[in-house]
Amino acid sequence: MKTGNLHRNSGTPNFADYVWENWEISESHAQRLMSEWRIGESLAGMGWRPRESQVRELTPVAKVSGDAAAVAVYDTLARAGTRVTSRALKDVVQQLPSIPSNSTPADVVRAVREILEPPTPILANDTSADSEYSDAPEHPKPGPSDVPQEHGQDEKPDPTDSENVRRLMQTLAHVTDAAKAISRPAVTRAVNEHPEAAMLVVSEIETALGKIERAIAVRKAPR
């Protein structure tokens, strides 16, 4: 509405007046919501229900590194078991290093995890550390991370690091919301009120469902 000045078609030439008359919010608040909705939409598609004040703390990341990076920050914090609050998000964002715009969500996940679980520093009097006075051999014994792991012992990758898995999760959320929004009585009433328009929409829904069914049919194929 704002980009195309479509609010003028409603008889309200000023956008600030338009948003106030329709939603009773200020133009500055409307601008914030417009800058945040893509992040909130993506998080809702993944099953999260963030508050507007929480999404607001992610907008600095989105401006520099893109919406996907902002979504990854919230998702990682939520999956870490930390209570997601506006303050918690603000603290993470303030500590987050500069993330290039071409970074992947996995890069952001690693950066956030390092903030949430920083490496334990080696104390100056830690006798386990090698020094010129220690009796440690020249070639220390490899640690667990240096020993090749047998098959099946490697840590399983986080499926949410995959953009394709995220897309499936978003699709599931949309389909679930759509199923909740429709009922047979509602369809019946729509057909009775406007038969041609209603059946056209029903046909489009059937086409969309058919595309989804064909897309997910790969899961039924033998591996």
pLDDT in tens, 195-206: 888 898 998 898
Residue 140, domain member (yes or no): no
Residue 124, domain member (yes or no): no
Residue 29, domain member (yes or no): no
**Residue 177 CB burial class (10 angstroms; 0-12, 13-18, ≥19):** exposed
Looking at every residue in the chain, the average pLDDT score rounds to 78
What dihedral do alpha carbons 47, 185, 206, 180 form, nearest 10°?
0
Distance CA 101, CA 36 (A): 18
Residue 211 in tokens: 């595309």
Q: pLDDT, tens digit, for every residue of 16-67?
A: 888 888 878 888 888 888 878 899 999 988 889 999 999 999 999 998 888 9
The DSSP code for 57 is T
Residue 56, domain member (yes or no): yes
Do residues 116 and 172 make contact, with C-beta atoms less than 8 angstroms apart? Answer: no
Q: Where are the alpha helices (DSSP H) in 24-156?
A: 27-45, 52-56, 59-65, 67-79, 86-95, 105-116
Which residue carries 């640690």 as its tokens? 143
Residues 112 and 166 in one domain: no
Which residue in 116, 40, 105 sits closest to 69, CA to CA? 105
Q: pLDDT, tens digit, for every residue of 165-206?
A: 888 888 888 888 888 788 887 888 888 888 888 898 998 898
Is residue 87 scored above 90 in pLDDT? yes
Residue 46, domain member (yes or no): yes
Percentage of the residues of the chain whose pLDDT score is greater than 90 = 19
Residue 164 in tokens: 């394709």
pLDDT at residue 88, rounded to an integer: 93
Residues 101 and 41 in one domain: yes
pLDDT at residue 90, rounded to an integer: 94
If you compute the radius of gyration of the chain from its CA atoms, what whole number of angstroms results?
Answer: 26
Which residue in 19, 115, 25 sits closest to 61, CA to CA? 115
Distance CA 141, CA 138 (A): 9
pLDDT at residue 98, rounded to an integer: 82
Last residue of a domain, one of 57, 87, 116: 116
Classify 132 as helix, strand or coil.
Answer: coil
Last residue of a domain, one of 84, 116, 148: 116
Do residues 105 and 62 make contact, with C-beta atoms less than 8 angstroms apart? Answer: no
Last residue of a domain, one of 90, 116, 142: 116
Count of domains forming the chain:
2
pLDDT at residue 119, rounded to an integer: 59
Residue 178: phi, psi to the nearest 5? -65, -40
Sign of CA dihedral 170, 67, 71, 25: negative
Residue 139, domain member (yes or no): no
Residue 134, domain member (yes or no): no
Classify 184 as helix, strand or coil.
Answer: helix
Residue 14, domain member (yes or no): no
What range defines the domain where residue 200 resides? 160-220
Which residue in 87, 74, 35, 85 sits closest to 166, CA to CA? 74
